[in-house]
């Protein structure tokens, strides 16, 4: 771009790293990723993640954990007028602990309501419980089991719980409201 | 829902697995994931993935590879009127092969133009070259290096190439057009 063409300069980005602007580092929550248009996943956000979360413009947050939401996050979501849906469920732990299909179905009804978008679904580490929820969502999207498990393991790493079996067997009805369903389902 | 309430039934989904509808399995391309609103990543799509790709309603496709695009994909994108941007770059291979920063910058200009969205960025496996491109995109989004590397490794697995260094050092100007830039940057 030459100086004679300066009227066009503002149209283009100036993201050279050697400019003098203060560069604020954005810190996404642990295991943050996008699941589908309007739906994000992660571990439990902490104070460091608030500027990042603000940029997402979240309308709601779905939290899967028997624990209370952390005080600082609770305050943040109140300030930002973000709605919380809290499902007090524990993860699958063989041989005796199993997530209730009904709970996952209820959470999915919230995920599949565009009035709640953008929504962040999170547990503590963003690996197993959320992996389960996303896996069941992928079943509704009719993904092949191979691709569902690939995605699950991308986050769960080597510690793969009984979740894959749970996802495979999951057949609970998910009565989401078609009037407000996402276009991608 | 009772039968006396049948007028409302159509409002709600009927996704029980025991219905008689034919269930068509959707097969996403290898290492498929969503990067940001309007941007998807993956490995090279094959014939199995076409019904899935159709659902994404892609406007364009950015392909990073010295190889030609496969015949069947080429035909599919022509039928679907999807635009292809092909960058003939090879991956980083220590110690002598290095991706050109300018090439990644050109590709990012295409990624950051909403007129090309939804866009699928892909290489062959969806791990290293695309991991590089996404890492550089995250730098523009000002993500912390920790979270950029976490995401890179989620796809690259144990075979981590010189890409992390490339991403860290990347400082090429990316002159995308602000008039058509995504809201999330």
- CB-CB: which of A32, A34, A171 is closest to B17? A171
Dmax of chain A from CA atoms? 73
Would you say residue B10 has pLDDT above 90? no
Mean pLDDT of B160-178: 90
Tell me which chain B residues have a C-beta less than 8 angstroms from the C-beta of A13.
Answer: 112, 174-176, 178, 181
Would you say residue B6 has pLDDT above 60? no
This prediction's pTM = 0.89
- CB-CB: which of A17, A36, A142 is closest to B34? A36
Shortest Cα distance, chain A CAs vs residue B55, angstroms:
7
Within 8 A by CB and 6+ apart from B75, the residues are: none
Per residue in B14-60, pLDDT (tens digit) is: 775 555 456 689 999 999 999 999 999 999 999 999 999 999 999 99
- CB-CB: which of B31, B36, B150 is closest to A34? B36
Which ipTM did the prediction report? 0.88
Radius of gyration of the CA atoms of chain A, in A: 19
Mean pLDDT of B64-71: 94
Percent pLDDT > 70 in chain B is 88
| A33-36 β-sheet, strand order | A83-87, A60-64, A119-122, A39-42, A33-36, B33-36, B39-42, B119-122, B60-64, B83-87
Percent pLDDT > 90 in chain A is 74
Per residue in A136-178, pLDDT (tens digit) is: 999 999 999 999 999 999 999 877 768 898 999 999 999 999 9
The answer to whether B169 faces chain A, any CB pair under 8 Å, is no
Tell me which chain A residues have a C-beta less than 8 angstroms from the C-beta of B147.
Answer: 27-28, 32
Tell me which chain A residues have a C-beta less than 8 angstroms from the C-beta of B40.
Answer: none
Which pLDDT value is given to residue A143? 97
- Per-residue b/e over B49-84, b at no fewer than 16 CB within 10 Å? bbebbeebebbbbbbbbeeebeeebeebbeeeebee
Which pLDDT value is given to residue B5? 46
Dmax of chain B from CA atoms? 73
Beta bridge partners of B57: none
Q: Is the peptide bond before A73 cis (omega within 30 degrees of 0)?
A: no
Listed by start position, the domains of chain A span: 33-125
3-class DSSP state of A9: helix
The rounded distance, in Å, linking the Cα atoms of B67 and B162 is 21
Per residue in A41-91, pLDDT (tens digit) is: 999 999 999 999 999 999 999 999 999 999 999 999 999 999 999 999 887
Which pLDDT value is given to residue B145? 96
The rounded distance, in Å, linking the Cα atoms of A7 and B133 is 30
pLDDT bin (cut points 50, 70, 90) of residue B104 is very high
Beta bridge partners of A134: none
The rounded distance, in Å, linking the Cα atoms of B18 and A27 is 44
Which pLDDT value is given to residue A93? 74
Per residue in B108-127, pLDDT (tens digit) is: 999 999 999 999 999 999 99
Which pLDDT value is given to residue A134? 98
Mean pLDDT of B89-97: 73
Q: Which CATH code fits B33-125?
A: 3.90.190.10
Which pLDDT value is given to residue B1? 40
Phi/psi at B105 (5° precision):
-60, -45
- Of A111, A107, A122, A92, give the one whose Cα is nearest residue A30: A122
Mean pLDDT of A94-122: 91
CA A38, A44, A49 angle in degrees (round to 5)? Answer: 75
Shortest Cα distance, chain A CAs vs residue B15, angstroms:
6
Which pLDDT value is given to residue B29? 97
From A87-101, A105-119, B95-109, the region with the lowest mean pLDDT: A87-101
Q: Looking at chain B from residue 113 to 142, which residues have their Cβ under 8 Å from any Cβ of chain A? A: 140-142
Handedness of CA A127, A133, B155, B130 (dihedral sign): negative
Would you say residue A33 has pLDDT above 90? yes
Which pLDDT value is given to residue A31? 97
Mean pLDDT (chain B) is: 89
Q: Looking at chain A from residue 7 to 46, which residues have their Cβ under 8 Å from any Cβ of chain B? A: 10-18, 23-28, 31-37
Q: Chain-centre distance of CA B162, in angstroms?
A: 21
Which pLDDT value is given to residue B152? 95
Q: Parallel, antiparallel, or unpaired: how do β-strands B83-87 and A119-122 relate?
A: unpaired
Mean pLDDT of B4-14: 61
Would you say residue A1 has pLDDT above 60? no
Per residue in A13-25, pLDDT (tens digit) is: 877 555 545 668 9
> Where in the sequence numbering do the catalytic residues of B fall?
123
pLDDT bin (cut points 50, 70, 90) of residue B98 is confident
């Amino acid at each position: 771009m030459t100086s004679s063409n300066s009227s066009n300069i503002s149209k283009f980005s100036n993201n050279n790293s050697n400019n003098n602007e203060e560069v604020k580092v954005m810190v996404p929550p642990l295991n943050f990723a996008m699941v589908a248009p309007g739906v994000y996943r992660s571990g439990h956000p902490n104070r460091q993640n608030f500027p990042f979360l603000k940029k997402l413009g979240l309308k709601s947050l779905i939290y899967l954990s028997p624990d209370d939401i952390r005080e600082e996050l609770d305050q943040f979501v109140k300030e930002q007028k973000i709605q919380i849906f809290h499902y007090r469920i524990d993860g699958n732990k063989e041989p005796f602990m199993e997530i209730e299909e009904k709970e996952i179905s209820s959470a999915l009804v919230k995920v599949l309501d565009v009035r709640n978008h953008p929504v962040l679904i999170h547990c503590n580490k963003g690996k197993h419980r959320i992996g389960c929820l996303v896996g069941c969502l992928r079943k509704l999207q009719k993904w092949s089991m191979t691709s569902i498990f690939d995605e699950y393991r991308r986050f769960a790493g080597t510690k793969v719980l009984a979740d894959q079996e749970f996802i495979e067997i999951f057949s609970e009805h998910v009565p989401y409201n078609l009037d407000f369903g996402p276009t991608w389902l």
